[in-house]
Amino acid sequence: MDALEAIRKRRSVRQYTGDPIPRQDLETIVDAGRLAATGSNRRPWDFIVVTDRALIDELKKAAEWMDKAGAIIAVVLDPSSRWWVEDGSAAIENMLIAATALGYGSCWLEGYTLPCEQEFKLLLGVPKEKRLLTLVPIGVPVEWPQIEKKKLSKVIHWEKYATVNS
Ligand SMILES: Cc1cc2nc3c(=O)[nH]c(=O)nc-3n(C[C@H](O)[C@H](O)[C@H](O)COP(=O)(O)O)c2cc1C
């Protein structure tokens, strides 16, 4: 699958079969994350790949449906970098696209993760000064969601946002 095809196909997948994911594929997904654009080339990220069922059992407090994920990637950032959120977001999107290209479902799980950040940092041994931005569950999809996107014609503007009538 080429990059454009994967970008078009990507959707948040929240139902997995429970099948394991080969280590090589998980490495490919994280590799896509570490190759993302990053402000001032700071690369303020670390990625924790969690496949241990006992740890997944704890992390699924954030979202019960992660139970059947083959792995959960915890995205850790150094907030001393001015663009840590942007950098983390770029890395996450790259990983979602890479997962899609490999045929896996994934989801950007930030809203549900932040309330548990301190607890999960302790669980995963993340240093105090770092932030746990997001969990990215990866799994073999049960089905591929069909969710409508805004039409290109509704969001694209050529030259100016709007013509101002004087
Ligand atoms: C910053 C951010 C936070 C998100 N947090 C969550 C979350 O906590 N739980 C969840 O199920 N999905 C979460 N999502 C996924 C969005 O719900 C999803 O991307 C959106 O509904 C569009 O659907 P799509 O990803 O299938 O295109 C998050 C996405 C982003 C970009």
Domain membership flag for residue 138? yes
Domain membership flag for residue 166? no
Domain membership flag for residue 38? yes
Structural domains counted in the chain: 1
Q: What pLDDT digit, counting tens, does each position of 21-40 carry? A: 999 999 999 999 999 999 99
Site to substitute for ligand 1 among 106, 110, 114, 136, most atoms within 8 A of C-beta: 110
Domain that holds residue 102: 3-155
CATH code of the domain in which 50 resides = 3.40.109.10
Domain membership flag for residue 69? yes
Task: Give the pLDDT confidence score for residue 134 in this predicted structure.
Answer: 97
Q: Is the pLDDT of residue 164 over 90?
A: no
Residue nearest to atom 25 of ligand 1 (CA): 12
List Cα–Cα distances, 7 to 56, 95, 123, in angstroms.
27, 11, 33
Can you tell me which atom of ligand 1 is nearest the CA of 92? 31
Lining residues, ligand 1, CB within 6 Å: 11-12, 107-112, 145, 147
Contact 108, 136 (CB under 8 A): yes
**Exposure of 19 by Cβ count < 10 A (0-12 exposed, 13-18 middle, 19+ buried)?**
exposed
* Separation of CA 125 and ligand 1 centre (Å): 25
* 165 contact partners, CB below 8 Å, separation of at least 6: none
Contact 108, 65 (CB under 8 A): no
Domain membership flag for residue 161? no
Q: What pLDDT digit, counting tens, does each position of 46-63 carry? A: 999 999 999 999 999 999
Q: Residue 15 carries which DSSP code?
A: -
Domain membership flag for residue 164? no
